[in-house]
A and B are shown apart, each in its own frame.
Chain A
């Protein structure tokens, strides 16, 4: 929290904690609430538990009765891993790499554009600013899937479909990111500080990079994380744009496996189910790690839009 420029806010938070601690010293009525929290955790974690347990099973174990919420006798992680990464010529590793590429390039691009535009809207009174802001707010309300079909037809005319750009370009558009950045920049970057830098002879871009950018860091991490998640989790856009399965992100790839396995029914698709389960587990690990390690940034950042 030390990077937050709004000093009063972090002060308030700490003073609040001390107040809470003083006034409610381990109240006894907390036991039911703790039980409720425990039950909620069970509900929110059951699917993960199911994945962890069942990705240890062979196809026979998956279908062969036994509890689906507990491990089978033979734990087959290693064999399943080998199957997962060798099936179809190792296509799964490629899907993971594609997802990472789309998420990182698209996410960084979207964030860079959002930082520039959000800062520009917040700190410069240029002609057309009010209009731009009104249009931006309208754009937040446009459902992104409504754009996919016309974008596909447009891209098809210039031969961009079925390329990585067909997935990356549309990801760059993040009106909500610009909105968040604008709201944050208005408060976090004091005009006096910018004026002081200007008086000291720094140019506009230098002021932006050396003064404003460090102050915007929490919002930047938040917008980056939100963009990366949106892109990593995207399904509709790549499903429409791509036909070559070597370009698929992991979401579309697993969807493909799942529909293949379902078409063949339990009998023919059996061997596929065990790698679908493990593949699902592996595909969620990168983002979970990202969220856990970047906690202290996004926790504050997610509040930006809601406080204003």
Chain B
């Protein structure tokens, strides 16, 4: 392995030995992660698939049912309603969140003062908060017992909206998730904005472009890879929605059932009802749906972004 020996070898032989060494060194570096990857990702995925092929019943014990559990899941209103909810939620949340974070990043790219820098940090702050605590904080703010909403609306002689009721919980959750993540996405977009070559703006200004034209024609198109990255993260995150509704379940009496999202339903099946086979089926089905959605999305946008380069 000593380099001095290789240095005296003839060139062709040296190239071969270098390549063998590349192989060995490459695997030495990648190996430790590879082991963790196989043990904690590949094995659980296939184990979930394996579990999902069996059904456990009171009488007769565990039996092999092939795709019986999937047939059950895809006709189970609890699972389907949960999937429909997270899809609906993503369709509203993701554009909203991206618009908010993009707008803030663009403002912060124009206003370069100490005040703006301070506000950037404050807007990012919710990212450091555990989602459990974030949900709890907003749960307090929404509630009639602790929250200011009732006070504020009373001052105008109005009835305060109850974001913990079943009709408004959608918006209550929308607000919590936007609050939690917009700052993080804003930082990613802002960082990407900083990477844009400023001579482009200079050139555009000389050509008579306004601030708006620069934003629309130069900044936003060049932000596509960053926006794509955020979109993928938001999609993966939202489809596996669990923490916020689980925490708010107690505060919002009756508005959030146990099958509110697919993940909550899987959790309930596996740990309240000890039905691991069906829980694993839902997990696997959800994972597969997310994977396929994201994969199709990335494939469809491959020409524009280069996340997968």
B residues within 8 A CB of A307? 191-192, 195, 225-226
A208-251 interface (Cβ within 8 A of B):
208, 229, 232-233, 235-236, 240, 250-251
Question: Do residues B25 and A284 form an inter-chain contact, with CB atoms below 8 A?
Answer: no
Among B27, B119, B187, B298, point to the contact of A41 (Cβ < 8 A).
B119
B125-164 interface (Cβ within 8 A of A):
125-134, 136-138, 140-141, 145-148, 151
Among B133, B201, B283, point to the contact of A283 (Cβ < 8 A).
B133
Q: Which residue of B lies closest to A171 (CB)?
A: B40
B residues within 8 A CB of A232? 130
Question: Do residues B191 and A120 form an inter-chain contact, with CB atoms below 8 A?
Answer: no
Question: Do residues B151 and A126 form an inter-chain contact, with CB atoms below 8 A?
Answer: no
Q: Which residue of B lies closest to A147 (CB)?
A: B44
- Shortest CB-to-CB span from A120 to chain B, Å, is 3
A46-99 interface (Cβ within 8 A of B):
46-48, 50-51, 54, 62-63, 67-69
Interface check B79, CB cutoff 8 A: no
Question: Do residues B110 and A33 form an inter-chain contact, with CB atoms below 8 A?
Answer: yes
Among B130, B146, B198, B279, point to the contact of A251 (Cβ < 8 A).
B130
A residues within 8 A CB of B48? 146-147, 149-150
Question: Do residues B290 and A141 form an inter-chain contact, with CB atoms below 8 A?
Answer: yes
Interface check A114, CB cutoff 8 A: yes
Question: Do residues A145 and B133 form an inter-chain contact, with CB atoms below 8 A?
Answer: no
Are A277 and B40 also in contact (CB < 8 A) when A116-B29, A251-B130 are?
no
Interface check A258, CB cutoff 8 A: yes
Question: Bound complex: CA of A44 vs CA of B56, how far in Å?
Answer: 48
Interface check B221, CB cutoff 8 A: no
Question: Do residues B32 and A113 form an inter-chain contact, with CB atoms below 8 A?
Answer: yes
Interface check A178, CB cutoff 8 A: yes
A residues within 8 A CB of B195? 9, 303, 307
Question: Bound complex: CA of A110 vs CA of B151, how far in Å?
Answer: 47
B residues within 8 A CB of A173? 36-37, 40-41
B residues within 8 A CB of A175? 37, 41
Interface check B209, CB cutoff 8 A: no
Interface check B62, CB cutoff 8 A: no
Annotate B180-207 by CB proximity to A: 1 below 8 A, 0 otherwise: 0001000111011011011001100100
Interface check A37, CB cutoff 8 A: yes
Question: Bound complex: CA of A20 vs CA of B128, how far in Å?
Answer: 31
- Shortest CB-to-CB span from A188 to chain B, Å, is 14
Are A308 and B309 also in contact (CB < 8 A) when A126-B27, A295-B121 are?
yes
A residues within 8 A CB of B145? 63, 266
A residues within 8 A CB of B165? none
Are A170 and B148 also in contact (CB < 8 A) when A33-B111, A306-B225 are?
no
Q: Which residue of A lies closest to B133 (CB)?
A: A280
Question: Bound complex: CA of A303 vs CA of B9, how far in Å?
Answer: 44
Q: Which residue of A lies closest to B50 (CB)?
A: A150
Question: Do residues A149 and B276 form an inter-chain contact, with CB atoms below 8 A?
Answer: yes
B residues within 8 A CB of A192? none
Annotate B15-43 by CB proximity to A: 1 below 8 A, 0 otherwise: 00001011111111110111011001101
Annotate B88-103 by CB proximity to A: 1 below 8 A, 0 otherwise: 0000000000000000
Among A132, A150, A306, point to the contact of B51 (Cβ < 8 A).
A150
Question: Do residues A302 and B121 form an inter-chain contact, with CB atoms below 8 A?
Answer: no
Are A153 and B280 also in contact (CB < 8 A) when A142-B291, A284-B133, A308-B309 are?
yes
Question: Do residues B32 and A201 form an inter-chain contact, with CB atoms below 8 A?
Answer: no
Question: Do residues B126 and A44 form an inter-chain contact, with CB atoms below 8 A?
Answer: yes
Question: Do residues B30 and A37 form an inter-chain contact, with CB atoms below 8 A?
Answer: no
Question: Bound complex: CA of A149 vs CA of B21, how far in Å?
Answer: 40
Question: Bound complex: CA of A236 vs CA of B247, how far in Å?
Answer: 11
Question: Bound complex: CA of A12 vs CA of B200, how far in Å?
Answer: 12
Question: Bound complex: CA of A143 vs CA of B242, how far in Å?
Answer: 12
Q: Which residue of A lies closest to B100 (CB)?
A: A40
Question: Do residues A67 and B4 form an inter-chain contact, with CB atoms below 8 A?
Answer: no
Are A149 and B130 also in contact (CB < 8 A) when A33-B110, A41-B119 are?
no
Interface check B301, CB cutoff 8 A: no
Beyond the given A9-B195, A143-B290, A258-B247, please list 12 additional residue pairs across the A-B interface where CB-CB is below 8 A. A36-B107, A68-B151, A112-B32, A125-B26, A126-B30, A141-B232, A143-B236, A146-B290, A147-B48, A204-B25, A251-B133, A254-B132
- Which chain A residues have a beta carbon within 8 Å of chain B's beta carbons? 9, 12-13, 15-17, 19-20, 23, 30, 33-34, 36-38, 40-41, 43-48, 50-51, 54, 62-63, 67-69, 112-114, 116-117, 119-121, 124-129, 132, 135-139, 141-154, 169-170, 172-173, 175, 178, 198-199, 201, 203-204, 208, 229, 232-233, 235-236, 240, 250-252, 254-255, 258-259, 262-263, 266, 273, 276-277, 280, 283-284, 287-288, 290-292, 295, 299-300, 302-303, 305-308
In the A-B complex, list the 6 residue pairs whose CB atoms are closest, starting with the nearest.
A120-B29, A126-B26, A303-B191, A146-B287, A124-B26, A306-B226
- Which chain B residues have a beta carbon within 8 Å of chain A's beta carbons? 1-4, 7, 19, 21-30, 32-34, 36-37, 40-41, 43-45, 47-48, 51, 104, 107-108, 110-113, 115-116, 119, 121-134, 136-138, 140-141, 145-148, 151, 179, 183, 187-189, 191-192, 194-195, 197-198, 201-202, 205, 225-226, 229-230, 232, 236, 239-240, 242-243, 246-247, 250-251, 263, 266-267, 270-271, 276, 279-280, 283-284, 286-287, 290-291, 294-295, 298, 306-309
Write 13 A-B pairs (CB below 8 A) sorted by A numbering: A33-B107, A36-B107, A40-B123, A48-B125, A63-B146, A67-B148, A116-B30, A124-B22, A149-B279, A235-B243, A255-B132, A258-B136, A302-B188
